[in-house]
Structure 1
């Protein structure tokens, strides 16, 4: 019993480190308006800056997504914390767009190192019979951390001094504490190899994973696409169309989507993985419809409802996807397979964002959002149909 308590404590501490890193990746979200005023760049540049982060994630996942399976979880996570700290330093030193690009790229590198490795690490730190709860800890740390970033930055930017500096100083302090915590946690990879043995991984999946990966990947792509566009352009929509200039409110609305995702993930244990994936797609479709209404009628209440409903749908789909993939993966390939799932997810979080940014100029922010919603709705319906025909077979 004492051993189980110790392992759960370690699992939760690992999840806290995971959350701190992910919070750093969304910290600039409510601050982009201030950066636009300071540096005078367009809405397209906001989406490009946002997408640079996703390209950094995808690059690391493809080149070193399996690194922690080889050299160990802790060294990779320490490197991720170092990149996260470097990203915060770039934002603190920002005197032009180049610093923002560098900061977002470094943030993407940190998230790329963390996503697969930290998820696998949290699962391995938990007791052997706690896979379901550990999966929730990992996914909640991921999404909860992403939600805490804009909330923290928005509150500090609105109610404290130095809005473009204090959030990153606070994050640097949290990263330092996280490094100390991580150094005290045990390594879970027994057969570790030197760093020189790490090779870029080719896109590929073990045979036993392929049957569950396709529906998991579809659900992840759609959910992350919705989050990508929501977090990159919603602050501008709130300011331009709804006259909401309070950074704390802007950060809270974005955070609600991620917190709702955590609530959706919690519900998977009761409804099961197979049902959570199609139900998650239904929630995403409802969230898209609410967002379309918000854009059409300029209603703040529908923006909030879209964040909550779409977030719950994303949480149902994402935890179901992760549970299915993790359960089917062999232990020595688990981080690599999870990384491949995140490659698909972060493709969803980057390409649609750039598409919206390109459309803002000719048809405006609201028109671009409606085009995005229409495209994602088609994809959600197709994904739900596929999931109903070929449900995932895994344990929650």
Structure 2
């Protein structure tokens, strides 16, 4: 009788711990996109060019890549909780440095710290949420982990935009609000048990990024689609605020935050839809929808139409979610057990290189060329990459 009573209670407790881990993941990732709707204010305060804004964003992506490569295996060695608390500490430090930010070097430092935090959470928190998933709902762990990741990235600009519009001190209040949220989530996370046995002699070597020959066929189209999708994400995080303000005349932090965050939320929805689509159609459909979204985006940039841009954001986000999750599943299935972690880490490294490198090149080009036609060309390039990935997937089928 006792077992019958305690079992549902234990199940509810397990679900609660699972949701707490997802909440911490969500709060941490939301902090990494807080500055997006505030870039226009930083530009006015520091007289920054669009090229420097893209450099600031690239510094963040560099921190993410460094954390993925250097610490990707550490949570398997010393446990999930120490790594996650290190990520929380870096997130708190980033908020505090942003609160002090006056000179440009402090903004760059805050973005680097934020990137390190995001890199730790991207690998470790994903594994933690999957570890804590209810035994009968393993797929739920994958979905909740990706939803917490992308949902947090989408919520950050919305939180910062609303705080900047409705509260005083727009370059201070958003970070104080996030500081309170991440600390509260970290306090709740104390009750989550450690699921990893610590190694007697931890291996601190960097994550291997080798690509086994048997994975290359699945990896190439998945990586090309990831490049197309994540370069659009980088564009929305670093360039869209300036485009909305300089070209389209929209300066509201809330509107900028909504547009920048909407693509991440749409990607979350796209990832949730993957389970309702046949396995053989997920990748091609994702590339097709993403390509349709970037095509609409090119017309939106050319016509300087906000409604068309919102439609493009929705379609491209859905396509990204489908392509990203199907690509991750494909390379995970193709990789041997002994190399799976390295292959997945390489996939994330390629994705974050795609977030940063193209927008930095774009930012440098804005020093010599007008922003509007450059944005149109950027969208056309993303469409071409989608078509290339689609052709490879069709050929492999």
TM, length-normalised to structure 1: 0.93
Return closer, same or farther for 1:19/1:207 CA change in 2, 3 Å cut-off. farther
Tell me which residue corresponds to 2:145. Answer: 138
Tell which deviates more after alignment, 39-48 or 376-385.
376-385
Tell which deviates more after alignment, 279-288 or 144-153.
279-288
Post-superposition offset of 1:210: 5.2
Determine if contact 1:217/1:344 at 8 Å carries over to the other structure: yes
Post-superposition offset of 1:13: 1.8
TM, length-normalised to structure 2: 0.93
Structure 2 SS opposite 1:148: helix
The 5-angstrom pairing of residues 175-254 of structure 1 reads 175-195=182-202, 197-205=203-211, 212-254=218-260
The 5-angstrom pairing of residues 1-396 of structure 1 reads 2=8, 3-195=10-202, 197-205=203-211, 212-327=218-333, 335-390=341-396
Equivalent-residue separation in structure 1 for 2:173 and 2:338 (angstroms): 41
Tell which deviates more after alignment, 279-288 or 98-107.
279-288
Output the aligned Cα RMSD.
2.0
Equivalent-residue separation in structure 1 for 2:84 and 2:341 (angstroms): 12
Equivalent-residue separation in structure 1 for 2:267 and 2:149 (angstroms): 10
Return closer, same or farther for 1:13/1:388 CA change in 2, 3 Å cut-off. farther
Tell which deviates more after alignment, 215-224 or 284-293.
215-224
Q: 1:120-173 deviations in whole A, cap 9, x for unaligned? A: 111111133322221110111111000000000000101111100000001111
Return closer, same or farther for 1:202/1:333 CA change in 2, 3 Å cut-off. closer
Instruction: Give 5+ residue unaligned stretches, structure 1.
Output: 392-396
Aligned residues: 390
Post-superposition offset of 1:48: 0.5
Return closer, same or farther for 1:125/1:206 CA change in 2, 3 Å cut-off. farther
Q: 1:320-373 deviations in whole A, cap 9, x for unaligned? A: 223334556677766544332211110110111101101112111112212222
Post-superposition offset of 1:272: 3.6
Return closer, same or farther for 1:213/1:102 CA change in 2, 3 Å cut-off. same
Equivalent-residue separation in structure 1 for 2:279 and 2:371 (angstroms): 36
Post-superposition offset of 1:182: 2.4
Equivalent-residue separation in structure 2 for 1:338 and 1:308 (angstroms): 26
Determine if contact 1:68/1:335 at 8 Å carries over to the other structure: no
Max Rg structure: 2
Tell which deviates more after alignment, 254-263 or 208-217.
208-217
Equivalent-residue separation in structure 2 for 1:139 and 1:186 (angstroms): 21
Determine if contact 2:130/2:142 at 8 Å carries over to the other structure: yes
